[in-house]
Amino acid sequence: MQLALETSTNICSVALRDSKGEVHEKRTEVKGSHSEKLFLFIDELIKEQDVKFSDLETVVVSEGPGSYTGLRISASAVKGLLFDSDIKLYAVNTLAGFAESVFNTKQEVQNIHSIIDARRVHVYHQSFVIRSGKLESIDSVKVIPIKEFEEQLQEGDAIVGTGLKRLNSKILEKMDVFDSSYISAKSLLNLYQKDDEHSFAKEVDPRDFDPKYYTSNQV
């Protein structure tokens, strides 16, 4: 069984894959709700599925980029929950998780741009492509001006994430748009399960886990 935490944006999502392979989720999209809802969702899922936390084999956590506060809360949570435990922790590229959600929804998609609204006139951005039925990154995570991001877009590309309303509406009309409703801890579990080469999901020591924060200088 695996548990996943996604807190990189205003969305707080917790997903549990049970022993039968079924995935259950608790999710809310309320700014500042992470500290209140994260442990509540974990507790509710475990009780509803009649399992113990010690039954888990793996915890999967979104590693960033994203909200400093949201990522810090989930990092603190896993450090506490996995203290003196044999449960493995895997950190998953946040933007790859977004892209995986799109791929699961629309199999014929080719090019995917994952973004998160950043400060000023910037977005966190990473591009992905589907090759031989697998998700691959074609660049690294960057913080770029919105105009520079818009210049990279080709008609028919998929865009997923937050800050979509800040993009040029004329450009969006030519894109395949997936809003924040596609951000979910379920996609982290899917990516972890499919990522045989550990391109996006990497095992980390809970004691040393530190999300990939981006400083104001990078923005």
From first to last of its 219 residues, the chain has per-residue pLDDT tens of: 999 999 999 999 999 999 999 999 999 999 889 999 999 999 999 999 999 999 999 999 999 999 999 999 999 999 999 999 999 999 999 999 999 999 999 988 999 999 999 988 999 999 999 998 899 999 999 999 999 999 999 999 999 999 999 999 999 999 999 999 999 999 999 999 998 878 899 999 999 999 998 654 554
Inter-CA distances, 8 with 15, 92, 106, 110, Å = 15, 11, 23, 25
Place of tokens 């010690």: 54
All structural domains of the chain, each given as residue ranges with its CATH number in brackets, are 2-93+183-204 (3.30.420.40), 95-182 (3.30.420.40)
Give 122-135 as a DSSP string: EEEEEEEEEETTEE
pTM of the model: 0.95
Taken in order 59, 64, 70, 76, is the CA torsion positive or negative? Answer: positive
Say which amino acid occupies 16: L
